[in-house]
Amino acid sequence: MKETPYWWETVSFPAGEAEPPAGSVDVAVIGSGITGLSAALELARRGRRVALFEAHTLGWGASSRNGGQVLTGLHLGPDVLLKRYGPDLARRLFAASLTAIDLVEGLIENEAIACDFERAGHLEVAARSSHFPGFIEAAADLERVVGHRVRLLTRDQLGAEVGTDAYFGGMLDEISATINPARYTAGLAEAARRHGARLYDQAEVDRLTREGARWRVITRRGAMLADQVIVATSGYTGPATPELQRRLVPIGSYMIATEPLAGELAQNLIPNRRAIFDSNKFLHYYRLSTDGRLLFGGRAGFVPETPQSVSESAGILKRDLVRLFPQLAEAAVTHVWGGTLDFAFDELAHVGQLDGLHFALGYAGHGVALATFLGSRLAGQLAGDMVENPFTEIPLPRAPLGALYTGRPWFLPVLSTYFKLLDRVG
């Protein structure tokens, strides 16, 4: 079993600039995930001088490791959005998630990115019978609050969508899509470079210092001056931006890939090729790859990925896979890997400015579409456009733990135990 993402075998990522960073640019971008690359691409298309810095290889982080689900909505449901922000902002936030999917599709077409984009829709399934009444309420809230319709499926109707009898109903949204996230990320990098962005890999940013009205971006390969800086590091935000780091919680998510399955077996698992996830706190999410593998993920542990947590997740996820799909008991698992998501303390995505630095982050598992949207919108804003972006109206909250939290999530084991208990009792 390979402890590397299956996706990485389907693509070659572009190499970074050979020369060390030097001189000056209009905008420096930190992080080569979807946020940073979509921002760099948009800025370069507008003729801005832009340099991007990545600590590892281009596209190394969660952007190229995730489940490739391009989802409508946000981590929070419309009922919560309505209570917190009122009907107008709730509607605009949800509408932005739909615009984000259209933006992904448009970028793929305009930049000729071959990444298996498919409007297959997503299906949320009720892991317990007690969860399905919540689906009924959520479907009603979606239509009432944000004007978005989904289709409810009873337990008897699920057989046409997923090859297991483990669930108690579902909620189907036809608007969502699936994608090969590594090919998409690599395609964004190639497009950004083609339009003139400079992309530096193996160039971790150690420090950011002020020099008058400009920033000096000090990396392990050299330094560069920038008029403005975008921080696009999400779950990998570190000590170079400490105030942002302490406002985010990095959470690990893990995946396995089976060997390619026989055509009939794969077809019976997910007949309509939906992106599927369940209603648990410790949720599972899964889909089919283009070559017939089942890509099966979940939070086998909340801790950010390490070699040990990745190795341990293989057994946990294979056990859960077989529990849901006994027909896959003999299917070999060929890959296991992990990635690190970022959660803000209000569980929403954010874009804004802090201590003079621009940022977009906090996607909470909805990063493929929202990172594209926020990266592009932030770039447009820095280029001088008046952009419609409702996320600018929501401030990034501080940690409720105050000085006890510095960005290292020491409380995750306790949180993990609590959520497992909630899932057990229903």
User: What one-character-per-residue DSSP string does 192-205 give?
Assistant: HHHTT-EEESS--E
pLDDT value for 69 = 97
Eight-class DSSP state of 62:
G
What gap in Å lies between CA 68 and CA 78, rounded to an integer?
Answer: 23
What gap in Å lies between CA 46 and CA 216, rounded to an integer?
Answer: 23
What gap in Å lies between CA 119 and CA 101, rounded to an integer?
Answer: 10
Contact predicate 371/33, CB 8 Å: yes
Residue indicated by tokens 């999400």: 234
Give pLDDT tens digits along the chain (426 positions). Answer: 999 999 999 999 999 999 999 999 999 999 999 999 999 999 999 999 999 999 999 999 999 999 999 999 999 999 999 999 999 999 999 999 999 999 999 999 999 999 999 999 999 999 999 999 999 999 999 999 999 999 999 999 999 999 999 999 999 999 999 999 999 999 999 999 999 999 999 999 999 999 999 999 999 999 999 999 999 999 999 999 999 999 999 999 999 999 999 989 999 999 999 999 999 988 999 999 999 999 999 976 677 888 898 999 999 999 999 999 999 999 999 999 999 999 999 999 999 999 999 999 999 999 999 999 999 999 999 999 988 999 999 999 999 878 788 888 887 777 666 666 666 666
- Both structure tokens of 1: 């079993």
What gap in Å lies between CA 361 and CA 381, rounded to an integer?
Answer: 16
pLDDT value for 106 = 98
pLDDT value for 301 = 66
- Both structure tokens of 178: 């699936």
* Strand partners for 151: 172
Eight-class DSSP state of 142:
I
Please state the pTM of the whole predicted model.
0.96
- Both structure tokens of 142: 């979606």
Non-local CB neighbours of 79 within 8 Å, separated by 6+ positions: 137, 138, 141, 145
pLDDT value for 401 = 78
Residue indicated by tokens 């990266």: 375
* Strand partners for 172: 123, 151
Q: Which residues of 281-297 are buried (b: 16+ CB within 10 A; e: fewer)?
A: ebbbbbbbbeebbbbbb
How far apart are the two ends of the chain, measured CA to CA in Å? 34
Contact predicate 130/123, CB 8 Å: no
Eight-class DSSP state of 258:
E
Non-local CB neighbours of 238 within 8 Å, separated by 6+ positions: 245, 407
Please give the helix or strand (H or E) that residue 223 lies within, else none. Answer: strand 222-231
Half-sphere exposure of 383 (CA within 13 A, CB side): 20
Strand 284-288 versus strand 214-219 pairing type: unpaired
pLDDT value for 333 = 98
pLDDT value for 406 = 87
* Strand partners for 208: 217
Contact predicate 10/183, CB 8 Å: yes
Non-local CB neighbours of 426 within 8 Å, separated by 6+ positions: 128, 130, 131
Q: What is the number of other CB atoms lying within 10 angstroms of the CB of residue 323? A: 12
Contact predicate 284/235, CB 8 Å: no
From the number of C-beta atoms within 10 Å of its C-beta (0-12, 13-18, 19+), residue 190 rates as buried
Q: What is the number of other CB atoms lying within 10 angstroms of the CB of residue 182? A: 24
- Both structure tokens of 196: 């003139």
What gap in Å lies between CA 188 and CA 106, rounded to an integer?
Answer: 12
What gap in Å lies between CA 333 and CA 345, rounded to an integer?
Answer: 35
Q: What is the number of other CB atoms lying within 10 angstroms of the CB of residue 320? A: 16
pLDDT value for 413 = 72
What gap in Å lies between CA 313 and CA 170, rounded to an integer?
Answer: 27
Q: Count of residues for the chain?
A: 426
pLDDT value for 409 = 84
Strand 357-361 versus strand 350-354 pairing type: antiparallel
